[in-house]
Amino acid sequence: MDALSVTLCGVELDNPVIPASGTFGYGCEFAEYYDINCLGTFSFKGTTRAPRFGNPQPRIAECGAGMLNAVGLQNPGVEAVIAEELPRLAKVFHKPVMANVSGFSLEDYAYTCARLDEQPQVGWLEVNISCPNVHGGGMSFGTDPAAAASVVRAVKAVTHKPVIVKLTPNVTDIASIARACEDAGADGISLINTLLGMRIDLKRKRPLLANGTGGLSGPAVFPVAVRMVYQVYEAVSVPIVGMGGVSSAEDVIEMMLAGATAVEVGAANLVDPYACRDIIAALPGAMARYGIENLRDIIGGAHG
Amino acid sequence: MKKVIFEIAENSPLAAGVYRMRLAGDTSAVTAPGQFVNIALPGHYLRRPISVCDGEPGALTLVYKVVGHGTEAMAAMGPGERLDVLTGLGNGFDTALAGDRPLLLGGGIGTAPLYWLARVLRAEGKRVSAVLGFNTGDDVFYEDEFRALGCDVTVATADGSYGVPGFVTDALRPGYSFYYACGPEPMLRAVCEKASGDGQLSFEARMGCGFGACVGCTRETVNGPKRVCRDGPVFRKGEIVWTR
């Protein structure tokens, strides 16, 4: 094993850096810019059973050190992903990919996860119970321990690959929800999805986003994410994928010290399409500066 | 798409709140009029998408309007300063559709990308007409530049303070082979409804990334959801679905 490699739910990653769902499409745009096989893996665009257009415009707003999005899970639906996106991806990406799934009912989650679980390219299922930008699903499953556990059980009953549950930070006690997911059979926990936010357009004197609220991401949320990863690490024993405002190799190391086995990078990809490639390239230098020989040795290292 | 560090060669006011910035650097990814660049500005998290007003090897001209904090910061920059820019974004206009008498319709700052288009069409020997619409006479820019290319130029102002009173659609004259339009969405919609024949229209949008990753700028089309940044910003008239 190499100094950067980690093992996520039994699958080895060359490095812990994973572009986060919703910031990397289905991979092909970025494959035009650099060889995406340098990534640990990536989490593809949140996929639902049926195609979704998403929310009306505008969907994007800016703020100090970050952004809000209210895309609302635009995606072509799981059958189009299997028929079109995965074959296209196979030509440019030769590692297992993380399949990000959203739903509006237990049946939705189970159906979509089962379909993606059958695909040889898929290495992990990342089950998003935390999208703040859709109504009647998404985050409503992720704000209650019993509801979160019911999604995990429904998915685990019909799949074989590791199931990583993506949690929302918009809760009082994220550790209890993580614990409920672990008890229900989750193989890993990823966090944090975006924080619910709002901007108001001073000219129109109305919320700027057509959806009203949006999800806050970018460097602004990094300390919140580190704190929550730290708390969840104390609460569960399954691996954690940490994310939220990660923008540098140092941020990756900090997130791993808090308890993350792997680290997703989101908004940074939108500002600089080369962000993940450059973070991976910067990791050995940053490790040397902080006296780190192997990244896998520092997971949870900040805990006494 | 190519990420390039440019040096600002010039940044000067052109009309009310409108500036022209000339950049020196690698323009190899900029291939068609109607494309845009996405500019990183210190202290602002997201980049600012700006259409290319003119391009030649080693130099880009941007004409932009100050509409918020980002463009305000851009206007304050001076020659010699450097900018981190994603270049060659979007599809651009298709000059093969022009026919022999193309008409260009510009609304406000949407006039900017039509300048390069006009230059290319003139170089191809086309008889180019341009109708440029602005709010007031103080907002008018590039009238002389279009004329210097040999275009037949009509300027319209909404308040009637300069040129033809009214909107670009009030100054339309028949006899064109194909039209190209860029401007605010209400103008583009009016053009689609009032201008006869076929055309290409370039849209503005609030973008996250500018290169197709975030799907923040998606709009519905007859061919399904399309990203303004990646599948556009130029769309054929027949593709467009008006939702607002």
* Residue carrying the six token digits 């679980």: A117
Q: How far apart are CA A72 and CA A55, in angstroms?
A: 5
Mean pLDDT of A280-296: 98
Count of residues in chain B? 244
What mean pLDDT, rounded, does chain A reach? Answer: 96
What pLDDT is recorded for position A100?
98
How far is the C-alpha of B194 from the C-alpha of B171, rounded, in Å?
11
What's the gap in Å between the CA of A65 and the closest CA on chain B?
6
What is the distance in angstroms between the Cα of B147 and the nearest Cα belonging to chain A? Answer: 36
Name the residue facing B211 among A64, A69, A273 (closest C-beta). A273
Cβ neighbours for B203, distance < 8 A, ≥ 6 positions apart: B185, B188, B219, B228, B232, B233, B234, B235
Percent of chain A residues past pLDDT 70, beyond the cut: 97
ipTM for this model: 0.94
Beta bridge partners of B102: B178
Closest partner CB to B218 (pick from A33, A54, A218): A54
- B207 touching A, CB under 8 A? yes
Q: Does B137 touch chain A (CB under 8 A)?
A: no
Handedness of CA A58, A59, A60, A63 (dihedral sign): positive
Residues in A closer than 8 angstroms to B212, CB to CB, are: 25, 29
Residues of chain A whose beta carbon is less than 8 angstroms from a beta carbon of chain B are 22-25, 29-30, 32-33, 45, 53-54, 56-67, 69, 71, 74, 218-219, 267, 269-274
Name the residues of A annotated as catalytic: 131
Band (pLDDT 50/70/90 cuts) for residue B21 is very high
Percent of chain B, pLDDT > 90? 99
Under 8 Å CB pairs connecting chains A and B tally to 88
For A170-197, what is each residue's pLDDT tens digit? 999 999 999 999 999 999 999 999 999 9
Mutation site, B47, B214, B228, B230, interface A, largest A CB count within 10 A: B214
Q: Does B86 touch chain A (CB under 8 A)?
A: yes
pLDDT for A139 beyond 90: no
Q: Two tokens at A172?
A: 């009082």
Residue B244 has pLDDT above 80, yes or no: no
What per-residue confidence (pLDDT) applies to A140?
A: 80
Chain A: give the shortest CA distance to residue B184, in Å: 14
Mean local confidence (pLDDT), B71-83: 97
Chain A contact probe: residue of B41, B45, B228 with most A CBs at under 10 A:
B45
Measured on CA atoms in the order A187, A279, A290, A64, is the torsion positive or negative? negative
Buried b (16+ CB within 10 A) or exposed e, B7-34: ebeebeebbebbbbbbbebbbeebebbb
Residue-averaged pLDDT of chain B? 97
Count of other CB atoms within 10 angstroms of residue A278: 13
What mean pLDDT comes out for the span A214-231?
Answer: 98
Contacts of residue A266, Cβ cutoff 8 Å, sequence gap at least 6: A19, A20, A22, A23, A217, A243, A244, A245, A246
* Nearest-by-CA chain B residue for A274: B3
B157's enclosing H/E stretch is strand B152-157
pLDDT per residue over A9-28, tens digit each?
999 999 999 999 999 999 99
pTM above 0.90, yes or no: yes
Which tokens hold the place of B78? 């001076």
Question: Would the CATH topology of B2-89 be identical to that of B95-204?
Answer: no
E-state strands within A37-110: 60-63, 66-69, 97-101
Neighbours of A236 (CB within 10 A): 19
Helix and strand numbers, DSSP H then E, in chain B: 4, 16
Half-sphere exposure of B82 (CA within 13 A, CB side): 6
Check the CA dihedral A95-B229-A268-A173 and report its sign.
Answer: negative
Predicted pLDDT at B81:
98
Residue A73 has pLDDT above 80, yes or no: yes
Domain boundaries, chain B: 2-89, 95-204
Question: What pLDDT is stored for residue A136 in this prediction?
Answer: 62
CATH architecture of B2-89: Beta Barrel (2.40)
Q: What is the pLDDT of residue A304?
A: 83
> What CATH architecture is B95-204?
3-Layer(aba) Sandwich (3.40)
pLDDT, one tens digit per residue, over B165-195 is 999 999 999 999 999 999 999 999 999 999 9
What are the domain boundaries of chain A?
A: 6-298
Say what the pLDDT of residue A137 is.
Answer: 62
Question: Do B215 and A71 count as a contact with CB atoms less than 8 A apart?
Answer: yes
Tell me what pLDDT residue A130 has.
84
Minimal-distance CA residue of chain A relative to B225: A53
User: What is the CATH T-level fold of the domain A6-298, as seen in this structure?
Assistant: TIM Barrel (3.20.20)
In the prediction, which pLDDT does B243 show?
A: 80
pLDDT per position as a tens digit, B88-102 = 999 999 999 999 999
Q: Is the pLDDT of residue A283 over 80?
A: yes
